[in-house]
Amino acid sequence: MFGLTLFGWLTAAWAVLTVLLAAVVILRSITANHEDTQIFLDPAEAAFEAEQRDISALMTRLSGYVRRLALADAALLAVMLGWVSVNVARSF
């Protein structure tokens, strides 16, 4: 299918994972710009408090995705490097 070898499919999967990881990291960075570290609110600003709570929950959720995608990306890269090293060793 499409004339790709197994290594070609691994490379394509790694590229897709890397692009997804970059997109989630960028989204997390943009979201972090809207998060305030410390805020002092009076009762009239309850909507702002809810917004900050939502942003904090999103940051926590995105951090989990970043961690999982980075681990999958590194694992796939390690498999690819192992594949290359075995094939290079066979050629000698």
Q: Which residues of the chain have pLDDT under 50?
A: none
Domain range spanning residue 63? 6-35+43-87
Assigned token pair, 82: 């192992």
Domain count, the chain: 1
Judge whether 12 lies within some domain: yes
Judge whether 92 lies within some domain: no
pTM, entire model: 0.78
What pLDDT, on a 0 to 100 scale, did the predictor assign at position 78? Answer: 96
62: which residues sit within 8 A by CB, 6+ positions away?
Answer: 24, 27, 28, 31
Judge whether 64 lies within some domain: yes
What pLDDT, on a 0 to 100 scale, did the predictor assign at position 35? Answer: 67
Judge whether 1 lies within some domain: no
What pLDDT, on a 0 to 100 scale, did the predictor assign at position 71? Answer: 97
What pLDDT, on a 0 to 100 scale, did the predictor assign at position 70? Answer: 97
What pLDDT, on a 0 to 100 scale, did the predictor assign at position 55? Answer: 85
Using CA of residue 51, residue 52, residue 57, residue 60, what is the dihedral sign?
positive
Q: How many CA atoms lie within 13 A of 53 on its CB side?
A: 7
Is 66 in contact with 28 (CB distance < 8 Å)? yes
What pLDDT, on a 0 to 100 scale, did the predictor assign at position 52? Answer: 80
**CA dist 62 → 23, 36, 87 (Å):** 11, 17, 37
